């Protein structure tokens, strides 16, 4: 999602090629031979192929900088570092939430069992940190890609009906209204 939103925000032409993970297509030579880690998403910029959402969004922000293109990260050095910190934290912590509330909860309305004790602890941590970070409609004054990543994580709980404070639900809903996010949500998905 982050890579799609980043490319859309930058108003760059691109095509999406679906890789069926359930069928192991990421392991086939036509993908794995180009994408060194064999993980999705992968961005192909000519012969250059890059994996991992944050690496892709940072690369795009470096190659297509503001003001000519929409900034994906705050211009202030410290805020930019904090945005990257949020992204790294979301992807490296909160494993129980990511497992017990996978993205099928968000994109397909999959109902999930109640959170395990580990899931409850991770959800409480997510909510606690988000309450500290979210002070307005965006994390750092102006929108950044970290807003989309945090909203997605919160929506794992929200869309399953788990308790999330109203202020954080409003924040996540606001991020979900962004045009680039709406375009992602409108993408056709396999059943």
- Tens digit of pLDDT for each residue in 32-84? 667 777 788 989 998 899 999 999 999 999 999 999 999 999 999 999 999 99
Give the pLDDT confidence score for residue 163 in this predicted structure: 96
CATH superfamily label, 2-69: Glutaredoxin (3.40.30.10)
- Tens digit of pLDDT for each residue in 110-131? 889 999 999 999 999 999 999 9
Q: For 35-73, give one letter per residue: b (16+ CB within 10 A) or e.
A: beebebbbbeeeeeebbbbbebbbbbbeebeeeeebbbb
Q: How confident is the model at residue 27 (pLDDT cuts 50, 70, 90)?
A: confident
Residue scoring higher pLDDT (61 or 104): 61
**56 secondary structure, DSSP code:** H
Residue 19 has pLDDT above 90, yes or no: no
The hierarchical CATH code for the domain 77-183 is 1.20.1050.10
Torsion, Cα 46 51 52 53, to 10 degrees, reads 20
Return the closest-CA partner of residue 40 out of 169, 146, 28, 131.
Answer: 28
Q: Where are the domains of the chain?
A: 2-69, 77-183
pTM value is 0.93
pLDDT-above-90 percentage for the chain: 78
Give the pLDDT confidence score for residue 29 in this predicted structure: 72
- Tens digit of pLDDT for each residue in 121-159? 999 999 999 999 999 999 999 999 999 999 999 999 999
């Amino acid at each position: 999602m982050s890579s799609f939103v980043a490319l859309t925000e930058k108003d760059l032409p691109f095509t999406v090629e679906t890789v069926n993970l359930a069928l192991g297509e990421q392991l086939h030579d036509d993908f794995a031979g180009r994408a060194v880690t064999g993980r999705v998403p992968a961005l192909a910029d000519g012969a250059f192929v890059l994996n991992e959402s944050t690496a892709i969004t940072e690369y795009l922000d470096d190659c297509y900088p503001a003001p000519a293109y929409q900034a994906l990260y705050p211009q202030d050095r410290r805020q930019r570092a904090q945005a990257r910190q949020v992204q790294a934290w979301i992807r490296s912590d909160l494993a129980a939430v990511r497992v017990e509330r996978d993205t099928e909860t968000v994109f397909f309305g999959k109902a999930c069992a109640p959170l395990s004790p580990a899931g409850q602890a991770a959800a409480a941590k997510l909510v606690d940190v988000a309450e500290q970070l979210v002070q307005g409609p965006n994390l750092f004054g102006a929108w950044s890609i970290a807003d989309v990543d945090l909203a997605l994580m919160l929506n794992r709980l929200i869309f399953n009906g788990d308790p999330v404070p109203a202020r954080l639900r409003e924040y996540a809903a606001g991020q979900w209204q962004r045009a680039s996010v709406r375009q992602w949500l409108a993408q056709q998905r396999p059943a």
